[in-house]
């Protein structure tokens, strides 16, 4: 990493109402609950816990999810869904089978299934994003599940739902056509052509039942897959006209302990999105289609801390502690930059799901019988969801840059701008990637006459490896002084290695 002298550091940003990228789909602040580890059993659901409701779901966890304002939650997987028989998770709980769950080598008791999740999601303030099994199953199981969930009544599967105590249909809008079907780890892995044909026929049948649903076609499991982006080109050749979105999945880690390189990983994310957009548009041109394919980034996060611990997990137990990354401060910075990247691509990224929501690579952690608490990554996710609603604006940025191990010309300033006309507010999200120096920043907001500073929230810790635990929140946001707004300009200094939320609005 090449650092500029402190006296050479200066960033400038210009924003105007006319620099519109797109309206932001609130679902880019979605998340994910899979039947994996302690996400369900011991996470959202823990009968006997002091905070459990009459159905066994933890109220303290629901409260934290509502605090974030999670608009959509993907369910029930993930790798889990490729071996899941949805019929096992409906009807009287005492009659449900216990199954060997092959994706994560656990036992699935099926105490929580479709109906329980739907009721819980509504209480958590979220809508569902349901995935169907295209690994061990296919068209028939998917159409039956959709009929069970969305058809009003008078048929076999819809009447079964009513018999189970749910008179009204769930009206699930968004459906994933399988999960990571390119992966050799996936039960029922498919070639691109095999998946494309199956997904098309499944989607066709589902749309005959409910023409109002949205469908997500499986993209590559990551940009590192050897078949990327050919997988997208081949599968979308089949699914382009039946699907509304193509999925993207990506996780990052800092295994080589190179923080400067780690904080530049969002540049790889940007390249990934641009490549998938290009591939989608190639298929659009090839088909002479008038339809634009949008993106569902329905798995993303930092994931690497728990890898060694997961190797030692005893198989064939219920809800073992799998994928329980304890996130540090630098992880929160990268999560912030990833959210900024989604906002920069709000014209095509319409859904994004932080994977996952509770305990499993998650912003929320729980202790069995004990507390629920916020990890470091909770805060940029919270801020983006709370203040990132409205229209994404394209900032014109002039920032000093550095070179890292895998990236060149990395801007120290990473920023996205959101204009909420309804609330008459402008929000600047910014990460200073410089590890040791503050970054002076001047923002030209003359296009927002009459706006002044509401608050400047900063997440910062001198120790990049600092983390939170139950009862000890070392990394937490605070309001900072010293930021000024006058004559159409905002002047501030972004602390070294910091996540910043600068909120502006009309002042008297």
Catalytic residues, by residue number, are 180, 299
Q: Are strands 174-177 and 99-101 parallel, antiparallel or unpaired?
A: unpaired
Task: Kindly report the backbone phi and psi dihedral angles of residue 393, in degrees, each rounded to the nearest multiple of 5, phi listed first.
Answer: -105, 150
Do residues 47 and 324 lie in contact, with contact meaning Cβ atoms separated by under 8 Å?
Answer: no
Do residues 329 and 259 lie in contact, with contact meaning Cβ atoms separated by under 8 Å?
Answer: no
What the block records as the tokens of 316 is 């064939």
Nearest alpha-carbon partner for 194 in 207, 206, 181, 205: 181
Does 76 sit behind a cis peptide bond, omega within 30 degrees of 0 on the bond before it?
yes
CA dihedral 404, 406, 409, 410 (to 10 degrees): -70
Q: From residue 247, give the alpha-carbon distance in Å to each of 104, 244, 265, 386.
A: 22, 10, 19, 24
What the block records as the tokens of 335 is 């999560």
Do residues 351 and 25 lie in contact, with contact meaning Cβ atoms separated by under 8 Å?
Answer: yes
Task: Kindly report the backbone phi and psi dihedral angles of residue 307, in degrees, each rounded to the nearest multiple of 5, phi listed first.
Answer: -55, -45
Do residues 44 and 52 lie in contact, with contact meaning Cβ atoms separated by under 8 Å?
Answer: no
Helix (H, G, I), strand (E, B) or coil at 411: strand
What the block records as the tokens of 441 is 């920043």
Q: What is the 3-state secondary structure (H, E, C) of 29-65?
A: HEEECCCCCCCCECCCECCCCCCECCCCEEHHHHHHH
């Amino acid at each position: 990493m090449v650092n500029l002298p402190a006296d050479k550091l200066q960033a400038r940003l210009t924003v105007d109402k006319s620099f519109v990228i797109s309206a932001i789909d609130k679902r880019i602040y979605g998340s994910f609950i899979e039947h994996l580890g302690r996400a369900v059993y011991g996470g959202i659901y823990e009968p006997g816990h002091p905070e459990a409701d009459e159905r066994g779901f933890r109220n303290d966890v629901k409260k934290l999810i509502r605090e974030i304002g999670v608009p959509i939650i993907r369910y029930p997987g993930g790798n889990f869904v490729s071996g899941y028989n949805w019929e096992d998770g409906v009807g009287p709980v005492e009659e449900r089978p216990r199954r060997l769950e092959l994706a994560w080598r656990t036992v699935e008791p099926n105490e929580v299934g479709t109906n329980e999740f739907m009721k819980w999601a509504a209480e958590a303030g979220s809508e569902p994003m349901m995935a169907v099994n295209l690994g061990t199953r296919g068209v028939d199981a998917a159409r039956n599940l959709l009929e069970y969930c969305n058809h009003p009544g008078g048929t076999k599967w819809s009447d079964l739902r009513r018999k189970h105590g749910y008179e009204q249909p769930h009206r699930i809008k968004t459906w994933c056509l399988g999960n990571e079907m390119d992966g050799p780890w996936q039960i029922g892995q498919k070639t691109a052509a095999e998946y494309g044909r199956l997904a098309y026929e499944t989607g066709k049948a589902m749309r005959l039942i409910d023409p109002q649903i949205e469908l997500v076609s499986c993209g590559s499991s990551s940009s590192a897959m050897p078949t990327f982006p050919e997988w997208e080109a081949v599968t979308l050749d089949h699914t382009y006209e039946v699907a509304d979105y193509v999925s993207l999945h990506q996780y990052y880690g800092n295994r080589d302990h190179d923080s400067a390189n780690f904080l530049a990983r969002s540049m790889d994310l940007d390249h990934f999105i641009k490549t998938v957009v290009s591939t989608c548009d190639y298929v659009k041109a090839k088909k002479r289609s008038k339809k634009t394919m949008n993106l569902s980034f329905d798995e993303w996060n930092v994931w690497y801390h728990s890898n060694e611990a997961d190797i030692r997990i005893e198989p064939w137990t219920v809800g073992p502690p799998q994928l329980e990354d304890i996130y540090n401060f630098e992880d929160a910075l990268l999560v912030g930059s990833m959210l900024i990247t989604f906002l920069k691509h709000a014209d095509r990224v319409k859904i994004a799901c932080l994977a996952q929501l509770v305990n499993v690579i998650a912003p929320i952690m729980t202790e069995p019988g004990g507390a629920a608490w916020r990890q470091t990554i909770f805060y940029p996710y919270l801020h983006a969801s709370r203040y990132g609603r409205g229209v994404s604006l394209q900032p014109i940025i002039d920032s000093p840059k550095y070179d890292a191990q895998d990236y060149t010309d990395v801007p120290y300033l990473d920023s996205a701008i959101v204009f909420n006309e309804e609330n008459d507010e402008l929000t600047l999200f910014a990460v200073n990637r410089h590890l040791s120096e503050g970054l002076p920043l001047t923002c030209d907001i003359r296009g927002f006459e009459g706006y002044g500073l509401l608050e400047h929230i900063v997440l910062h810790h001198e120790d990049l490896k600092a983390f939170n635990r139950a009862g000890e929140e070392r990394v937490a946001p605070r309001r900072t002084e010293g930021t000024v707004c006058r004559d159409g300009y905002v002047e501030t200094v972004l602390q070294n290695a910091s996540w910043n939320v600068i909120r502006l609005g009309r002042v008297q």
